[in-house]
A and B are shown apart, each in its own frame.
Chain A
């Protein structure tokens, strides 16, 4: 019986529901002491005094370290622009300036507070447009000396406060605008979004025998290994990262955070294990949140209203350090038209250094606000033309064989129309329009997205009792990609129950490189690698069983916990017997598999600074939302939410729905509840979960989900990425629905009750005035 597409309980579920699961914050070691960071209270300034003596003098304090105790080097995922500790200047609020280790957490925090830190404030670069002006102070006066992580040859367009730039300027744009019948222009502003996983970041570091070991609940252990090795100036293999159950990450736990400090503190504390845990406020202030951005878009229309050219400019907030951001900035090119034909399109993506916490990956990355911009813009155009919004989209919708701005060809983009049809069947547009009620509105939008192609590997090891272990550095960030997806895929291949498959937690000393739980990649990439590994196991099983069954290996199959002769299921031997026999004759059975998806062909000349050149394993998404606005308070309730999504093949129905429901909920939060504002001083205004409002059970409807399944021939059982797509469109559809409900466009995210109510009251006032005339 196949377990693919079946409801299989996640392998870590029981441990999580019983309290047994050991998360990063739960990890403890014998003799462990505690660390705390001294963080900059201001966003920009010069350190005029840093005195650690009062902290060091406290009984129970083991070590205090500062920039003077760390290697004089810079580290970074893409660009090595970051120091472990601020040395002379601080560049954002919350930046570590020193770290202490002490007997207890309370003492460590008291000691951190005892460190004398004086900072002379400097002007903070905060405003994105202002940061790019020639007279703006430089966040990094030394920017020219910075070297990409992959070496000088990997450098990319950047200059001063411009942390990265990608420009695509195809011919014909200006001509089209010159002959346009009408030009529609928009500007969209979005705030940052905090990932707000419920487990704050933590790390336990030890330094022993010349090596650093760090225990951490992390999405991408190998990336932490590399970052710790850069910061501490040792070779990567001198660092061991041991993973733990993760209390959520959503992209924020892809780069190092507390790990290098825990490692360095342990060295300073003569090898005692040191644990660091963020308070919620520390976590919020320093998390690489989704970047705020300004997107400006204009489209040229001909007399029929057809879009004949477009210009899109996005300016995104990099924060004080780059992290993964330069790599992501070029995604603008892939989303600039959404999923609609728009003629030649000029795309400029700029990433800007500011004196704020570094930004980073959050599920769906910049797709969330790029699609918000493009889809709001489509509604605006339709309104200008006085045509139906859905119909207008269908008129421009991509089809099979669509060639994109980067030259990539989407052979299967016709799936989009199936998505619109699936939504239409459940919520007929004409019916929604006919049943319109005051203060209610509907929005519809569509997107395409990638499945992250980066490499993964797995070893499948057969125990002598017939169960299997999967050794991999892949992590299950909660999605079930490992605890369901990979587990089911291996169980299916080996013909054993999923409950007999054990997947290890990551350990970089043990498992091969894995590119982390990001970009919806794990089920597909690690699932495929595990499948390949399982196939090697099967080959070995058959070879050994051939002797036991006195049959040719080619005539055997592995199924139902046995190796058996095809067509003669009575002639079989249990896997456990074969495995035990193998161990004692030819040696233990294990197999290895690796997988990486090649990037689809693209035109390298299409743009400068195109670091993510094309979107592998594309998926397609159509969303519809119905909202109701409270005319008294301006608050918005999402009444109904529909998703049609291409997933390749459903491996786990619960896992797939969980990703859709959870992603949409985060998108609803992004659109309506979560506010992360930055003051002129560069400091966040929201600093706790009281003011940083996460959606509650009463704030979200049950999502109606329509999976579209067009199996990918290269994916395990046809699987494509699932996790990110659901968050791409809620901001777009909700903004469109609110605009529909109140009859006025709102172009900022989040949509605040303030803005909604002001818009409603202005509209009412105008109605009254018109009535009186």
Chain B
């Protein structure tokens, strides 16, 4: 079946299977490989993308369900003010090590900060429960978020 949707601001028409995941559609059909597959079961959050602004695990989200919707992936974050700030802060604060979880963290955080521009650290730790980072131990990721928030407040 064909679905028509917007991906990072661009209209796409894609043929998808009935059980196909959004992750498969992004990676294999649209060759947007920035979104990562870590577990395929909604446990690690590496595949997080935004669907109509909501952070979803694209590995367990139906590709067909995106029909008419807007999908934002890590590749589109550079076009977003908040996304760009977060990307820069992750690199500057040591929030990236192997980087495989980074796209999922960034997309999740874009959604979290759009809803609440100044979450506390405990709120952030809770909001990030669905994103696993095996490298950093999270502290420098939280530093990056703090730097993003303070940077945006200064502007």
Residues in A lying within 8 Å of B, measured CB to CB: 7, 9-10, 12-14, 16-23, 25-26, 195-200, 245-250, 279-280, 477-480, 654-655, 657-658, 661-666, 688-690, 694-698, 700, 702-703
- Which A residues are in CB contact (< 8 Å) with B90? 13, 17
Question: In the complex the two chains form, is B138's CB within 8 Å of A280's CB?
Answer: no
Q: A9-B91, A13-B90 are in contact. Are A658 and B136 (CB under 8 A)?
A: yes
Interface size class of B (residues with CB under 8 A): 35 or more
Question: In the complex the two chains form, is B78's CB within 8 Å of A18's CB?
Answer: yes
In the complex, which residues 102-146 of chain B have their Cβ closer than 8 Å to any Cβ of chain A? 102-103, 106, 124-126, 128-129, 131-142
Most buried by A among B32, B91, B97: B97
Interface majority SS (helix, strand, loop, mixed), chain B: loop
Most buried by A among B37, B41, B138: B138
User: 29 pairs across A/B with beta carbons < 8 Å?
Assistant: A9-B92, A13-B99, A17-B102, A17-B103, A19-B35, A20-B34, A25-B36, A197-B98, A197-B100, A198-B46, A199-B36, A200-B38, A245-B98, A245-B99, A247-B98, A247-B100, A248-B100, A279-B40, A655-B94, A658-B97, A658-B140, A663-B137, A665-B137, A665-B138, A688-B39, A696-B128, A697-B126, A697-B128, A700-B138
- Which B residues are in CB contact (< 8 Å) with A250? 134
- Distance in Å from the Cβ of B153 to the closest Cβ of chain A? 21
Question: In the complex the two chains form, is A697's CB within 8 Å of B124's CB?
Answer: yes
- Distance in Å from the Cβ of B142 to the closest Cβ of chain A? 7
A26 and B137 CA atoms in complex are apart in Å by 25
Question: In the complex the two chains form, is A690's CB within 8 Å of B91's CB?
Answer: no
- Which A residues are in CB contact (< 8 Å) with B87? 14, 17-18
Contact of B135 among A19, A248, A703 (CB under 8 A): A248
Question: In the complex the two chains form, is A696's CB within 8 Å of B132's CB?
Answer: yes
- Distance in Å from the Cβ of A520 to the closest Cβ of chain B? 15
Contact of B126 among A196, A479, A698 (CB under 8 A): A698
A54 and B150 CA atoms in complex are apart in Å by 62
- Distance in Å from the Cβ of A613 to the closest Cβ of chain B? 32
- Distance in Å from the Cβ of A481 to the closest Cβ of chain B? 11
A661 and B134 CA atoms in complex are apart in Å by 11
A662 and B38 CA atoms in complex are apart in Å by 18
A13 and B33 CA atoms in complex are apart in Å by 16
- Distance in Å from the Cβ of A105 to the closest Cβ of chain B? 8
| Interface membership of B56, Cβ < 8 A | no
A690 and B38 CA atoms in complex are apart in Å by 12
- Distance in Å from the Cβ of A234 to the closest Cβ of chain B? 31
- Which B residues are in CB contact (< 8 Å) with A702? 139, 142
- Which B residues are in CB contact (< 8 Å) with A25? 36-37
- Distance in Å from the Cβ of A2 to the closest Cβ of chain B? 19
Given A17-B99, A23-B36, 10 new contacts (CB under 8 A): A16-B99, A196-B134, A199-B100, A654-B93, A657-B140, A658-B135, A658-B140, A689-B132, A698-B129, A700-B137
A16 and B100 CA atoms in complex are apart in Å by 8
A681 and B35 CA atoms in complex are apart in Å by 37
A279 and B37 CA atoms in complex are apart in Å by 10
- Which A residues are in CB contact (< 8 Å) with B32? 19
- Distance in Å from the Cβ of B88 to the closest Cβ of chain A? 8
- Which B residues are in CB contact (< 8 Å) with A478? 97-99, 135
Question: In the complex the two chains form, is A689's CB within 8 Å of B41's CB?
Answer: yes
A387 and B15 CA atoms in complex are apart in Å by 72
Closest chain B residue, CB of each to CB of A283: B39
- Which B residues are in CB contact (< 8 Å) with A199? 36, 38, 98, 100
A interface footprint on B15-35 (CB within 8 Å = 1, 0 otherwise): 000000000000000001111
